[in-house]
Amino acid sequence: MAEGCIFCRILRGEVKGEVLYNDGQAFVIRDIRPRAPVHLLIIPVQHFTYLTYLNQATEPMVGHLFTVAEEMAKREGLGANGYRLVMNQGKDSGQEVAHLHLHLLGGKHLGTMG
């Protein structure tokens, strides 16, 4: 975990944040500025800044984020109508926190991207 990272600080309990799920590999919180009725962040416990720092050894962790996303989608009742998963890479993509994370969005028609 990184000292100044807001996600790491939430996980350590230093900053208030409702952790909806934590299995020791990944944890889930609600986005504080939701873009949809359901907007969750699926975050690896191990601090990774960007996708560019990942390698073959970290593939299981990235895959686990998607497994957790599916579970959270079911818990939030999104399975029937669908949901969107988004992972931003770097500042030009809109990544605001330098800790790799996956956005789970749903609860309304999201339209097309582009």
Active site residues: 101
| Cα-trace Rg, the chain | 14
Angstrom distances, CA of residue 66 to CA of 26, 41, 86, 102: 10, 11, 10, 8
